[in-house]
Amino acid sequence: MQLPDSKDDFLGPTGPVATEVVDKERSMYRVHFPVAGSYYWPNTGLRFVVRQPVTIEIEFCVWDQFLNKSALQHSWMPAGPLFDIKAHPGAVVAVHLPHFVALQGDHVDVDLFQVAHFRKEGIVLEKPAKVEPHYIVLENPSFSPIGVLRKICAALYIPVSSNVLLYHHLHREEVAFHLYLIPDDCSIRKAIDDEEKKFQFVRIRKPPPLSPLYMGSLYTVSGPEKMEIIPPELKLCYRSPGKSQLFSELYIGHLGSGIRLKMKDKKDKTVWEALIKSGDLRPAATPVPPDLTDAPTLPHFLDRHREQLVARVTSVDAVLDKLYGRLLSDEQYERVRAESTKPDQMRKLLSFSKSWGWACKDQFYRALKETHPHLIMELLEKQELKEATRALHKLSS
């Protein structure tokens, strides 16, 4: 086990309480509360009120794994993270579960919210004791995979608290950004952080939208005239942390004295704005270990694993369908299809990527990840092991 950064501490009556990382891959944590009282985890929004010292285990889960098997998915939507919590029975007086629904007015219709428990015998819905602006309260709770659901109302856009995540990657010829618009859900944010780190993209911390945005609505991204933005619109929607998230790619030759990014709604009202200066991109702000500072110059995933991709990608048609119209022209699409074997098709497809920039190769990678998740995960694990071995060798020498 290892201790995460202090930003993952709980805040309790005796001060910060560190969490232990039990299983990094499963995002499983353990924390021991030494005395009775209230403990708050700022990174997630979770709060526990305990009547005695207790050890609690918390695992981040994925709604799709449970909700897709139920008819509830058509009448209820996830309204916050899903946690699998384990604690000694009776030790927890109350739990505050985070949600991202923006409450309207003083009166709150508690019937619009339920807490879903996923148990062996099936799904159990529990009415919360209280619904507060950023969390719901369960008193004397029992635990299982548990999270907040919000009732879906026909023809109604649900206002939500949202977050804009901005990542950058400096190249020799251009500055590249990835921009996400997501509900304010810590599990989605964590999944995006983990994904972007694999390609040495670093998050630039900027304030979230100040006003609630609407689930299902489109928002237009704009920047300087010379900035290329693909796509120029983002839809605010809930996508499970286990799925690839929607984002816009932004490219500009150089920052100059700074650039201003905006996001507007359909009425042309600015809902988010940020100023990015060269100081935001300083290497000192990049959480890349010192022994991996040469990581951005490493070849892209496609180039590193070309041989394995040629030999082991079996559903080339599925990959082509995801790239057609975005990276591939009609002629390129047909040239790949004309090859007689799957390896030859992949060779032809990868030959086009030689002229692509880093961001285009990222799109190719994401298509592969969606169509061949097990293969990509295996190659990533081998890549991480190699890099860790290389880092240890540098330290030892």
- Which CA distances in Å does 74 have to 68, 99, 115? 9, 19, 16
Is the domain defined by 297-396 classed in CATH 1.10.533.10?
Answer: yes
Q: Which among 262, 192, 190, 275 has a CA at the least distance from the CA of 233?
A: 262
* pLDDT value at residue 294: 38
Q: Collect the ranges in the chain with pLDDT lower than 50.
A: 1-6, 172, 284-297
Q: Which among 26, 52, 28 has a CA at the least distance from the CA of 39?
A: 52
Domain span(s) for CATH 2.60.220 in the chain: 6-151
The residue type of 146 is: I
Rounded to 10 deg, the angle between the 316-323 and 330-338 helix axes is 170
* pLDDT value at residue 108: 78
Q: Which among 163, 264, 268, 274 has a CA at the least distance from the CA of 220?
A: 264
Q: For domain 6-151, which architecture applies? A: Sandwich (2.60)
Contact 374, 249 (CB under 8 A): no
Q: List pLDDT tens digits, range 278-297.
A: 888 755 333 433 333 334 44
Domain span(s) for CATH 1.10.533.10 in the chain: 297-396
* pLDDT value at residue 120: 84
pTM score, whole prediction: 0.70
Phi-psi region of 268 (alpha: psi -120 to 50; beta: other; left: phi over 0): left
Q: Look up residue 231 and give its DSSP letter.
A: S
* pLDDT value at residue 3: 36
CATH top class, domain 159-279: mainly beta
* pLDDT value at residue 46: 95
Strand partners, 213: 160
d(CA 221, CA 66): 34
Q: Which among 182, 186, 121 has a CA at the least distance from the CA of 147?
A: 186
Q: List pLDDT tens digits, range 252-263.
A: 888 888 899 999
d(CA 263, CA 247): 13
